[in-house]
Amino acid sequence: MSEPVQLLSHAIARDALCALRDTHSRPAQFREALGRLTTLLAAQATSGLRTVPRKVETPLCDCIGEALQGRIGVVPILRAGLSMVDPFLSLLPDAEVWHLGFYRDEETLQPVSYYQKLPQGKPVEEAFVLDPMLATGGSAAAALRDLQNWGVPRLHFLGILGAPEGLQRLQEEFPTVTIHLCALDERLNEQGYIVPGLGDAGDRAFNATAE
């Protein structure tokens, strides 16, 4: 049974989404809004992380608290996913960061891998794949497959906007992966872009149009 998508419901998120969608937002404004959304999304997605009891000494006495358990990986899909890394690390500063690179063949709309460097035999115990846009789902599916092959037992996908087509693909191919989005938009257009969407997230975040 597929995990339902977890949509972020927060007034700050709705405000930040307006800035992201606005074609007049400058790169700095775009990055700031993306950072706010990623922080909120990360807080939601990490709420169920595993913890272990830990004895701590307060100024008054000893007590038992809870500490995070195991190795956690943050996996941005290049290049747009890079814009989500720092906000995510503000919550999990000790997380490992591993990069996966894909570009989309504009004729077939299929992902083409150009960077993958995961250490053999040493998978993290929990990984969060970051990509602002879940459009066709091709790059997200390829990244999740690479992480499964690496041996990661618990996987999550975090995106800002999703299209029904991409969401359906991930739920069908990866029924145990938790999917977190800020919003689910209407559809994909003929070029594979999310509508109404926000354009190309990588181009706008880094002020550099990829040809």
19 vs 131: CA distance, rounded Å: 18
Q: Could you confirm whether 108 is annotated as catalytic?
A: yes
> Which string of DSSP letters, residue by residue, matches 41-55?
HHHHHTTT--EEEEE
Q: Per the residue annotation, which of 21, 169, 178, 203 is the catalytic one? A: 203
Cβ distance 13 to 40 under 8 Å? yes
Under DSSP, the state recorded for 151 is: T
Could you confirm whether 200 is annotated as catalytic? yes
Q: What are 52's two structure tokens?
A: 């272990």
> One of 108, 145, 176, 187 is an active-site residue; which one?
108
From 21, 104, 169, 178, the catalytic residue = 104
- What's the DSSP call for residue 2? P
Catalytic choice (21, 71, 178, 200): 200
**104 among known catalytic residues:** yes
Q: Rounded CA gap, 58 and 122, in Å?
A: 36
What is the DSSP-derived secondary structure letter of residue 106? Answer: T
Phi first, then psi, for residue 208 (nearest 5°) are -150, 105
Structure tokens at 65: 């608290």
Catalytic residue positions? 104, 108, 200, 203
